[in-house]
Amino acid sequence: MARGLEPAASAPGAGERPWTDDAVVYEIYPRSFQDSDGDGIGDLAGIRSRLPYLEWLGVDAIWLAPIYPSPLADYGYDVTDHKAIAPEIGTDQDFDLLVADAHDRGIRIVLDLVVSHTSIEHPWFRERPDFYVWSDGPEPPNNWLASFGGPSWTRDPATGRLYLHSFYPEQPDLDWRNPEVREAMADVVRHWVGRGADGFRVDAVDRMVKDAELRDDPPAREPFPLPMPEALLRRDLVNSRDAPDIGIALAALREAAGRAPLIGEVYLPVARVLPYLEHLDAVFGFDLLHAEWDADALAAAIDRSSAAGGIAWVTSNHDFPRVATRWGEENARAAAVLLLTLGGAAFVYQGEELGMVDGPAADPVRDRYGRDACRRPMQWDPTPSGGFSRGDPWLSPVDPATRNADDQSADPGSILNLFRELIGVRREIHGTPARIGSPDGTLAFDRGAHRVAINLGGSPAVVPAPAGSELVLCTAPGAAELHEGELRIGAHAAAVTCER
């Protein structure tokens, strides 16, 4: 493998830091990234054809949302075979070629590991019922609720028994207390490490192990700090998820993964993620994802997450509105500076480097919970299809004539070139972020000799700058300037300085 990429199969050495610690990981939703064969669905060959772009951008790795066979009840997060590739996404050869080409370019591959549940159409559901959680009573054994609404229990027409599902009824939960389940999923991890995967994003980690006695979730004692359906907010979700013996599941994955990092989706308050970091290399910082575009709110989210350690920063993903839609197009550049200058791994969702916005709800609706809006195809050029497909795309692009990679790559002042510059500057920034005092409506922190200052407001602001500082980067030409110990920042702008 070129550029020093090593296989992930061996165990890490004592004290060795995982490669993800300071990596920029680019999330790809395969169905929406690049279609190579004209069927309107993105695929592995399409991703491979865009590796030169990703190498030019400077990312360290790509995270592929699920590539496995699925009936698409939850658009890939309902898996029927964890060791296979969905035929519309590609073949084993396509995967091998993608891995080899990516590694030659110094880009690592992170796979999405969907392990808390399977599709109801997975052969295990009929052949290995002991792999799942069942109840034989006439009524659900507890008050647990599914994340997408309604009870977590559904009756199986074939057997008359109730099975547990944390999400859709089409996604029955695996019983991770069964050692054979742990070994079966560990074997999945070993399979993909052997195929060249360099790491894994582990889906819905906090749902893997539930209360062994299936006890009710009690009434909420305090507000849950992350967004959630109203019915769930009224419960203290301590039995339907987040069991204290989660380690029995994570230890199996950790051993199977060897030195391949595991980054967990743990949808819990920061104070409750620490046990997960005993086995995971990082967890996503959802506090930042859900924060308002407000200096105090962002500072509080960063402080809470930083206290836990092991945070992978993220400001958007395939489930959540894009930055330009949520925080405002005028703030997208400053948000990029924030994401890419914090310590730890940074995850960038495809199209954020173009300032892409969400589209309207699809017609017909592909996803029951409106996530089509942020899953529109990547916009490569100004043509009606955005260069995504020569056929009819499964979802139409939003505005390729306004935002596309071809036009922006040729424009030195584009948000795309800002992202590229930021990724380069990021490699020169070291040290733990230390927030400094700054005017209302601004957020500023030091990392070693570098100072990052973000103006979230609609008026210019002044942030103190150490003597001898130089302006390294700002969000647009003329957006910031240094003058006699002051860093003057325009509205909705951000800058990075360095003390020489």
- Listing DSSP states for 424-450 in one string gives HHHTT--S--EE----TTEEEEEETTE
Q: In what order do the strands lie in the sheet with 486-489?
A: 461-464, 486-489, 480-483
The two beta strands, 469-474 and 346-349, are unpaired
Task: Please name the residues in contact with 427: beta carbons below 8 A apart, sequence gap of 6 or more.
Answer: none
Tokens describing residue 405: 């990679």
Residue with tokens 């610690």: 21
| 62-90 pLDDT per residue, tens | 999 999 999 999 999 999 999 999 999 99
Distance (Å, whole) CA 62 – CA 48? 11
Tokens describing residue 187: 């074997």
The two beta strands, 346-349 and 24-28, are parallel
Q: In what order do the strands lie in the sheet with 134-135?
A: 134-135, 162-164, 153-155
- Report the DSSP beta bridge partners of residue 111: 64, 200
Inter-residue contact 259 to 290 (CB < 8 Å): no
Of 43, 74, 206, 265, which residue is the catalytic one?
265
pLDDT of residue 144: 98
CATH 2.60.120.10 fits 434-499, yes or no: no
Task: Please name the residues in contact with 235: beta carbons below 8 A apart, sequence gap of 6 or more.
Answer: 143, 145, 217, 218, 219, 220
pLDDT of residue 12: 47
440 is catalytic: no
Please give the chain's pLDDT, 500 residues, in tens: 335 465 554 444 546 789 999 999 999 999 999 999 999 999 999 999 999 999 999 999 999 999 999 999 999 999 999 999 999 999 999 999 999 999 999 999 999 999 999 999 999 999 999 999 999 999 999 999 999 889 999 999 999 999 999 999 999 999 999 999 999 999 999 999 999 999 999 999 999 999 999 999 999 998 888 888 889 999 999 999 999 999 999 999 999 999 999 999 999 988 899 899 999 999 999 999 999 999 999 999 999 998 888 999 999 999 999 999 999 999 999 999 999 999 899 999 999 999 999 988 665 555 555 678 899 999 999 999 999 999 999 999 999 999 999 999 999 999 999 999 999 999 999 999 999 999 999 999 999 999 999 999 999 999 999 999 999 999 999 999 999 899 999 999 999 999 98
Angle between helices 179-194 and 247-257 (to 10 degrees): 30
Q: Which amino acid is at 484?
A: E
Inter-residue contact 488 to 460 (CB < 8 Å): yes
pLDDT of residue 396: 94
Distance (Å, whole) CA 473 – CA 454? 12
Q: Which amino acid is at 38?
A: G
The two beta strands, 153-155 and 24-28, are unpaired
Q: Which fold has domain 2-117+179-223+231-426?
A: TIM Barrel (3.20.20)
198 is catalytic: no
Q: Nearest 5°: CA angle at 183, between 182 and 186?
A: 85
Inter-residue contact 427 to 415 (CB < 8 Å): no
Inter-residue contact 81 to 184 (CB < 8 Å): no
* CA 122 to the chain's CA centroid: 25
pLDDT of residue 244: 95
Inter-residue contact 68 to 117 (CB < 8 Å): no
Inter-residue contact 210 to 239 (CB < 8 Å): yes
Enumerate the domain spans of the chain: 2-117+179-223+231-426, 434-499
Tokens describing residue 3: 């550029």
Residue with tokens 């030169």: 52
Q: Which amino acid is at 310?
A: G
**Number of neighbouring beta carbons within 10 Å of residue 414:** 20
Buried b (16+ CB within 10 A) or exposed e, 13-25: eeeeebbbebbbb
Of 170, 173, 203, 242, which residue is the catalytic one?
203
The secondary structure element, H or E, covering residue 416 is helix 415-426
Q: Which amino acid is at 222?
A: E
| 193-237 pLDDT per residue, tens | 999 999 999 999 999 999 999 999 999 998 888 888 889 999 999
Distance (Å, whole) CA 375 – CA 371? 7
Inter-residue contact 36 to 91 (CB < 8 Å): no
DSSP codes joined into one string, 227-260? ---HHHHTB--SSSS--TTTHHHHHHHHHHHTTS
Q: Nearest 5°: CA angle at 72, between 68 and 74?
A: 100
